[in-house]
């Protein structure tokens, strides 16, 4: 697909809304996305078909149900980067929308890793403590590997196309959080151990009391 074709796919407001919703890393049904985008299910289906054909989304079927998700982490990175370089977001149109924006700025998922103030704080703490270094490109140090292993996280360098760790520009903080295998594993661990939990159906996360203790113990940060 050419750059112009990809830009055309993402330029439509409905398709952009669908793609941004899927940055939560989960698979959604067409009905759910239609409701979110405030369009008819048939309209949403047409948009989903185009996004799947363009390689932006991937389709999964379970029985009679069709689910869609982002095609991969590289698409999630592209969407987050585009959000970072977009113009100033429009002001919230309701108190509910304003609360959602503030919640996402505090902590959210960016596909399968932590973002927002929490994600950036985790990245800063790991650099500060020498768990990752950006001296010659972002890499995990030996002490970082040992620290991850104590959390039950084993890295698999060289397997697949996904890098061990990479920087992802955060669109609300305008700084980087951690993606790649490390970012995904940390987010998965935080979810599994109930350090964070989702707020509603969106991308926003809430740090639990157990999470505040864990982030303070393991990284010395006061989670939002």
Judge whether 59 and 66 are in contact, CB under 8 Å: yes
Same-domain status, 21 and 114: no
Q: How far apart are CA 196 and CA 211, in angstroms?
A: 6
| pLDDT tens-digit map of 83-108 | 766 655 556 566 776 777 788 889 99
Same-domain status, 45 and 106: no
The H or E element spanning position 68 is: strand 65-70
| pLDDT tens-digit map of 151-195 | 999 887 766 677 899 888 887 888 889 999 999 999 999 999 999
The pLDDT value given to residue 158:
62
Residue at 184 is within a domain:
yes
Q: SS3 of 113, please?
A: strand
**Residue 213: CB atoms within 10 Å:** 12
Residue at 25 is within a domain:
yes
The pLDDT value given to residue 187:
94
Pick 178 or 65 by higher pLDDT. 178
| pLDDT tens-digit map of 98-155 | 777 788 889 999 888 999 999 999 999 999 999 999 877 889 999 999 999 999 998 8
Residue at 206 is within a domain:
yes
Q: What is the pTM of this model?
A: 0.74
Q: SS3 of 135, please?
A: strand
Q: How far apart are CA 1 and CA 107, in angstroms?
A: 33
Same-domain status, 52 and 141: no
The partner residues of 61 in beta bridges, in order of sequence, read 66
Last residue of a domain, one of 15, 38, 71: 71
Which of 15, 116, 113 shows the shortest CA–CA distance to 73? 113
Strand duo 139-140 + 132-133: pairing: antiparallel
DSSP helix, strand, coil percent of the chain (3-state; round to 5): 50, 20, 30
Pick 65 or 138 by higher pLDDT. 138
Residue at 83 is within a domain:
no
The pLDDT value given to residue 123:
95
Q: Which domain covers residue 189, as residue numbers?
A: 94-219
């Amino acid at each position: 697909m050419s750059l112009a074709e990809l830009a055309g796919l993402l330029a439509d407001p409905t398709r952009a809304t669908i793609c941004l919703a899927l940055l939560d890393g989960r698979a959604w049904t067409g009905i759910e996305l239609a409701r979110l985008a405030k369009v008819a299910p048939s309209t949403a289906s047409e948009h989903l078909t185009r996004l799947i054909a363009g390689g932006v989304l991937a389709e999964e079927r379970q029985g009679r149900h069709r689910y869609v998700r982002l095609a991969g982490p590289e698409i999630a990175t592209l969407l987050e980067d585009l959000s970072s370089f977009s113009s100033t977001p429009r002001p919230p149109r309701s108190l509910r929308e304003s609360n959602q924006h503030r919640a996402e700025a505090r902590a959210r998922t960016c596909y399968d890793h932590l973002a927002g103030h929490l994600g950036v704080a985790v990245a800063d703490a790991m650099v500060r403590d020498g768990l990752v270094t950006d001296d010659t490109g972002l890499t995990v140090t030996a002490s970082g590997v040992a620290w991850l292993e104590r959390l039950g996280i084993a890295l698999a360098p060289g397997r697949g196309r996904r890098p061990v760790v990479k920087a992802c520009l955060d669109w609300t903080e305008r700084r980087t959080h951690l993606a790649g295998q490390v970012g995904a594993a940390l987010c998965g661990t935080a979810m599994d151990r109930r350090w964070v939990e989702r707020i509603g159906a969106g991308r926003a996360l809430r740090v639990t009391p157990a999470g505040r203790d864990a982030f303070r113990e393991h990284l010395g940060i006061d989670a939002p």
